[in-house]
């Protein structure tokens, strides 16, 4: 006999992040993790360094510094904000707090892999719902709702497809859920979306008792290495998360850097403008090579190839040249590679390398 984990744990395929190394390349260009092309705000870096002189003290337990900075930025009640070690932690804590064995969790077919992991870790049942044109299909989601549906994860925008649901569709999805089913809107890429019909989720959370919105500082703010995320919740959900999260789950340097990043709106706007310019350029340039690229509202694009074998061949070809993209087989997209929008130099190198590959065929 030996200790056995609870049901579901051994069904989990561990999450594998984007690669950082490319063969023997001395200075590879990493475009596999949707990291910021321009990096963090100088103000955030300065705040982080300033905190280095007082590392002997524990953080204040509620992440007061960051919660109040977020509340001031977005006009929210700080008591309804919970901070975490990246939004991943908060997505997982919501599963820990609300799932019971046998409960069902809905999410779209090509959504973030952490949803399945968090579901199985709580002995619940993951329900992957087919998408329509690589976009969440609200009708299909609602058709899969049962009496056992306890939680619905919605990545909006979605990674790796780059698609999004307009606010009216999100509201329609929410309207079809029972009051005791929690809708979790994962808005990690919200800052990049410049569409009039998009809303990150603040309004729905403000007006409903069963909606949570999660956000991150890893993307547009360029603080992926610090692992900082936050959730805006109904009061009773915030209470649940605060009961089960770690007592010091966001460090003081991370809180100060994230708070400074929020205030540097000029840097955020520069990052968004850079992304819009080069995302569109990459999309059009790669399409001119005869490849399919989906429209995206994130800081990445999804490139389609003729087959799984060709996608793997292109991936190897690019890696030999020090260019690291992300294979998305685990997301059910074996014929695709995901490309993060990088610096101008990185973007041009990727397109040049893809042109070389296509010219050989």
pLDDT tens track for 227-267? 999 999 999 999 999 999 999 999 999 999 999 999 999 99
Domain finish residue from 234, 263, 292? 263
Whether the Cβ atoms of residue 60 and residue 224 lie closer than 8 Å to each other: no
Q: Does 116 share its domain with 249? A: yes
Same domain, 250 and 283: no
Name the band, by pLDDT with cuts 50, 70 and 90, for residue 132.
Answer: very high
CA angle 305/311/315 to nearest 5° reads 135
Does residue 327 surpass a pLDDT of 70? yes
Domain assignment present for 8: no
Is 238 found in the same domain as 279? Answer: no
Regarding whether 342 and 198 lie in a shared domain, the answer is no
Q: Is the domain of 133 the same as that of 72? A: yes
Would 157 be classed as within a structural domain? yes
In a shared domain, residues 160 and 302: no
Residue 2 counted as domain residue = no
Closest by CA to 324, choosing from 339, 302, 313, is 339
**Considering the chain, what percentage of its residues have pLDDT values greater than 70?**
97
In a domain, 9, yes or no: no
- Are 188 and 277 within one domain? no
Claim to verify: residue 184 and residue 84 sit in the same structural domain: yes
Is 129 in the same domain as 259?
yes
Average the pLDDT over 44-58 and give the result: 93
216, 244, 263: which is the final residue of a domain? 263
Residue 132 DSSP symbol: B
Q: Are residues 157 and 274 in the same domain?
A: no
CATH number for the domain that contains residue 189? 3.40.640.10
Task: Say if residue 54 is in the same domain as residue 199.
Answer: yes
Residues 279 and 244 grouped into a single domain? no
Global confidence as pTM: 0.95
Strands (E) across the chain are located at 29-30, 81-84, 104-108, 125-129, 149-155, 182-186, 211-216, 229-232, 292-293, 300-304, 323-324, 326-327, 336-340
Residue 1, domain member (yes or no): no
Domain total of the chain: 2
Q: Residues in the chain, how many?
A: 361
- Domain containing 324: what range? 24-39+266-360
| The predicted structure's pLDDT at residue 361 | 66
Question: Among the three residues 263, 278, 307, which one is the final residue of a domain in this structure?
Answer: 263
């Amino acid at each position: 006999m030996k200790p056995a984990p609870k049901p579901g744990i051994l069904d989990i395929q561990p999450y594998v992040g984007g690669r950082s190394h490319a063969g023997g390349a001395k200075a590879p260009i990493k475009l596999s993790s949707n990291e910021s092309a321009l990096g963090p705000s100088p103000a955030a870096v300065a705040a982080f360094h300033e905190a280095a002189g007082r590392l002997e003290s524990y953080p204040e337990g509620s992440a007061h510094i960051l919660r109040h900075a977020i509340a001031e930025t977005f006009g929210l009640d700080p008591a309804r904000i919970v901070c975490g070690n990246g939004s991943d932690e908060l997505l997982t804590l919501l599963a820990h707090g609300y799932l019971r064995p046998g409960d069902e969790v809905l999410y779209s077919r090509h959504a973030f892999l952490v949803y399945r992991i968090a579901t199985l870790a709580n002995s619940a049942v993951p329900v992957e719902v087919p998408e329509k044109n690589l976009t969440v299909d609200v009708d299909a989601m609602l058709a899969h709702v049962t009496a056992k549906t306890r939680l619905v994860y919605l990545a909006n925008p979605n990674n790796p497809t780059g698609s999004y649901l307009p606010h009216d569709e999100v509201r329609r999805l929410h309207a079809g859920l029972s009051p005791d089913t929690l809708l979790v809107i994962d808005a990690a890429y919200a800052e990049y979306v410049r569409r009039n019909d998009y809303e990150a989720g603040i309004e729905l959370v403000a007006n409903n008792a069963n909606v949570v919105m999660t956000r991150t500082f890893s993307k547009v703010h360029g603080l992926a290495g610090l692992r900082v995320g936050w959730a805006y919740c109904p009061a009773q959900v915030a209470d649940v998360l605060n009961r089960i999260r770690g007592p010091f789950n966001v460090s003081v340097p991370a809180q100060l850097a994230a708070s400074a990043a929020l205030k540097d709106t000029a840097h955020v706007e520069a990052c968004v403008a850079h992304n819009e310019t080069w995302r569109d350029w990459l999309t059009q340039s790669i399409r001119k090579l005869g490849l399919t690229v989906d429209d995206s509202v994130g800081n990445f694009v999804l490139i389609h190839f003729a087959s799984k074998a060709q996608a793997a061949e292109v991936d190897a070809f690019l890696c030999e040249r020090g260019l690291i993209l992300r294979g998305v087989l685990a997301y059910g997209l074996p014929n695709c590679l995901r490309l993060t929008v990088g610096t101008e130099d990185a973007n041009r190198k990727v397109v040049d390398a893809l042109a070389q590959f296509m010219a050989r065929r």
